[in-house]
Structure 1
């Protein structure tokens, strides 16, 4: 495994989540490096990774996050409201996964999956918070020995490149940006995997500080 946990991580995560006092709160951040746990012990240091910037223009107009995170939050008294979400660590009530589940029609996205899912959460009224202490740690490599990869063609699976291109078009449709299908029918067909109705995309862009159509990212937390 490429990840490890702090001691009694489940108790820590529950305590952190309850301190938010928000039924629709999500604890999420890019995990700290595994070497940090080894250096500081199970509780880690007094700083936690916090992704601040949202980058646009590097990948067909779809916002991306840095990996590892581009910043840190130090000496937090409690979880802190965030403008990003990480698939590497996400802790919330189970109704989150029922309300905005992973989109099985958008495979092979990896780094491009995180912002679109944050959009689906946020427009449904969910808020993401950076935890005030490290809960999960990750081994970011490098791994000279390599990682075994499935030979998709020989196993009879669909071509991953084709799947990825179709998924990217679907995400562009969700975000309403160039390259997507802007017809009302296409948006309606997203159904459960589309936008929520509690907040608008305009409100999200203002909150995060980005311009999707103008392909302008933010400058991180100020």
Structure 2
């Protein structure tokens, strides 16, 4: 057994243990806006009683496939090289990766591929050529031509070929051992072909051990709040935090620092190339685009948190590029007004209306439905409401769009009664059928925040030190999350009797698998009844 595969097997086995447990968790909303209990076991049951027999299309993973890993970087070759290095070194199956890097740089800057090859030469000194170099495609661009993250990501998207899965990360990320298999399993257990895992990754802290193993925290980021940005458009305020996260959590918002799903999402929802210098509003519009095209966004659970973000100071950023200020101001105004035009917000001034049909919102679900789902109001400070409570999957108002994407004869139709009854039995609150009342239990601030109920995660508010910084040419360094341990120490999760029994069996099997032949043979013999023993 390869050493790097052991953490993967352990993680997947522990994931099976969690599958036996209650998957309820608790979210502390950014800005001290409340604490809510979440139950992702009901998130695929629509709220409307007329729709409760409908479900998203099941996840499909072919026997063989490739994974595209895309990133856009601005004059950050050293950290970009390390991102690629940790992704390859710590993967279970690196041969299936294909990298697409948009690198904006000066001639004198360190280059991403060169920096990766330096690390590869140290790690694999026996190789005469840079290992995996042929898997890395770089599109170099002059730094002086950089015009923000959306234009860079548009170019990055063009580098996708026939890969099945697509991962977008910032060019200063760090991966942990076995990350690829764990992330795939995280996506698979959502059981939604249209699922996209996305969040603002945690800062590094001490979450990556020296040997590359994961030391994931108990508090996991989740995007659910927006505020009015400096340009008047909606931007994500910061990540709220889920404690006790055991299953991917349905979300209304998308973050550029991590985005993982099927590549048909990237092909069907192209990034608008006519939005240079767009910052506030970029991620919100991307979320609306995905959702109206039929895609659903989920934040990873603790088990699926396998990648972290290096929030250290960068060598340069595109906001300080030598661009004519007047030209930049005009292009920025046109981009902002283009987004206002798409969202139906009044504006004055110039607008770039090129190819609006190509980049319009989807027809699987309406933009109005997205505003309802995300609990968004594009007036005031935009922070009067949020989508932090338990969300429920919304069926497609035009299912033919998704049916064509999924193919294989899938149709959005009512469930078999037996399957429906099984799901409803797990989710009595979903039977209320009230679209105006979220099917969640709010935890009052005055309640004892250390009490736990049967099968429920502890409610402990973790303080966060949150800052912001401008991103690079394609990165998404929006909030900086510095984790602060609660004074009461790390909460202890409670396992039910069945889960502990299953865990004991798992550990026994692992012990037998990892023991030498003499020990494992003796153990196996003890589990064989005398009448079934043989000399063989």
Q: What corresponds to 2:432 in structure 1?
A: none
Pairwise CA distance, 1:178: 1.9
CA distance in 1, matches of 2:356, 2:379: 20
Give the conservation status (yes or no) of the 8 Å contact 2:374–2:386. no
Structure 1, unpaired ranges of 5+: none
**Which residue of the other structure, out of 331, 338, 360, is the alignment partner of 1:163?**
331
Shift of the 17–180 alpha-carbon distance from structure 1 to 2, 3 Å rule, reads farther
Q: Secondary structure of the equivalent of 1:90? A: strand
Runs of 4+ in 1 over 4 A off after TM superposition: 38-41
Pairwise CA distance, 1:135: 2.5
Pairwise CA distance, 1:25: 0.5
Q: What corresponds to 1:205 in structure 2?
A: 371
Q: Which moved more, 1:114-123 or 1:188-197?
A: 188-197
**Which residue of the other structure, out of 180, 203, 207, is the alignment partner of 1:33?**
203
Determine if the alignment matches structure 1 residue 45 to structure 2 residue 217: yes
Structure 2, unpaired ranges of 5+: 1-78, 80-171, 390-536
Q: What corresponds to 1:65 in structure 2?
A: 236
Deviations 1:166-205 (A, max 9, x none): 1111111111112279xxxx6x941121111111122111
Q: Which structure ranks higher in relative contact order (CA pairs < 8 Å, sequence separation ≥ 6)?
A: 1
Q: What corresponds to 2:193 in structure 1?
A: 23
Q: What corresponds to 1:90 in structure 2?
A: 259
Q: Secondary structure of the equivalent of 1:191? A: coil
**Which residue of the other structure, out of 227, 232, 255, is the alignment partner of 1:55?**
227
Pairwise CA distance, 1:215: 5.8
User: What is the aligned length?
Assistant: 209
Q: Secondary structure of the equivalent of 2:250? A: strand
Shift of the 165–39 alpha-carbon distance from structure 1 to 2, 3 Å rule, reads farther
CA distance in 1, matches of 2:311, 2:372: 32
Deviations 1:14-72 (A, max 9, x none): 1111111111110000000111424795241233111221213x3343111134x2x11
Give the conservation status (yes or no) of the 8 Å contact 1:171–1:180. no
Q: What corresponds to 1:175 in structure 2?
A: 343
CA distance in 1, matches of 2:256, 2:359: 16
Determine if the alignment matches structure 1 residue 216 to structure 2 residue 386: no
Q: Secondary structure of the equivalent of 1:193? A: coil
Determine if the alignment matches structure 1 residue 14 to structure 2 residue 184: yes
| Greater fraction strand | 2
Q: Secondary structure of the equivalent of 2:207? A: helix
Q: Secondary structure of the equivalent of 2:298? A: strand
CA distance in 2, matches of 1:114, 1:209: 16
Which one has a bigger Cα radius of gyration? 2
Give the CA RMSD over aligned residues: 2.6
